[in-house]
Amino acid sequence: MSRRILIAGNWKMHLSPDDGAAVVSQLASTVGPASDVEVLVCPTFVGISSALQAAKGSAVQVGAQNCHWEPKGAFTGELSAELLQAAGCSHVILGHSERRQYFGETEETVCLRLQAVLRTGLVPVLCIGETLEERESGQLETVLRRQVTGALAGIAPDQLSSLVVAYEPVWAIGTGVVASTEQAQEAHAFVRSVLREILGSAADAVRILYGGSVKPNNAQELMSQADIDGALVGGASLKAEDFLAIISASKQG
């Protein structure tokens, strides 16, 4: 089953609206109006509109890094999937490990947010991944299974056709330590097997991205693995040259 590669940039709390627009302009002029590889950047909330402006006429898409589950209401400081859609976003990252670690994100709240994103028709990028302690104590599969089944709990399989999953081992995020291609492929294959239990053969169409210290020099090897369908890139997505090099390497993978 051939799945279209998705290279997504997670800018986290970096880049001003102007600096982000400058990065997107460079991406847009190289990527052009159509691209084999799907390209996405997820700026800060305040950077979304200038990134969209800079992406105009190109295949570069713009997403968000989180959303609230209610469509509207008295939730000071929050943004709904509906508001993000109205702002022009195409994707929303959900359950990133930094949100789980610092902002009390749980399987239950990830599931609520996932339902909200699906309700709008935006594409969810569901992040999962184990800590080093969990891996070293032999809990890798237990953790990944819990995160996948928890996020998808109660959601009808036919609503999940747009789902993108990002496997991001926590110990590889922002550390410069990348999972070996074998470790990554093994985890991706396991995640796909869990998805198959829930979605049946539709799991073969779900793209599973790898995240955690993806750089221009390791992207090609990672993308060459059977179950790795793209990348969620943090640090190396902040510079257009690096991100473009990852996009171009992924075409060879």
Residue numbers annotated as active site: 96, 168
Least distance (Å) from ligand PGA to the CB of residue 145?
A: 21
**How many CB atoms within 10 Å of residue 54?**
25
Q: Which is nearer to ligand PGA, 20 or 199 (CB)?
A: 20
104 SS3 class: coil
**Contact positions vs ligand PGA (CB under 6 A):** 10, 168, 173-174, 211-214, 232-236
Q: Which is nearer to ligand PGA, 179 or 199 (CB)?
A: 179
Least distance (Å) from ligand PGA to the CB of residue 52?
A: 21
Q: Which is nearer to ligand PGA, 43 or 199 (CB)?
A: 43
Name the region of 124 (left: φ>0; alpha: ψ -120 to 50; beta: rest).
Answer: beta
| Euclidean distance between CA atoms 151 and 94, whole angstroms | 10
Q: Which is nearer to ligand PGA, 128 or 199 (CB)?
A: 128
Least distance (Å) from ligand PGA to the CB of residue 226?
A: 22
Q: HEC profile for 31-77?
A: HCCCCCCEEEEECCHHHHHHHHHHHCCCCEEEEECCCECCCCCCCCC
Residue closest to 62 by CA, chosen among 108, 15, 109: 15
Q: Which is nearer to ligand PGA, 117 or 127 (CB)?
A: 127
| Euclidean distance between CA atoms 104 and 99, whole angstroms | 7
Least distance (Å) from ligand PGA to the CB of residue 165?
A: 13
Q: Which two tokens stand for residue 106?
A: 């749980």
CA of residue 51 relative to chain centroid, distance: 17
Residue with nearest beta carbon to ligand PGA: 234
From residue 168, alpha-carbon distances to 98, 110, 187, 233, 249 in Å are 11, 15, 10, 10, 19
Least distance (Å) from ligand PGA to the CB of residue 123?
A: 16
Q: What is the dihedral of CA 4, 126, 111, 49, to 10 degrees?
A: -90
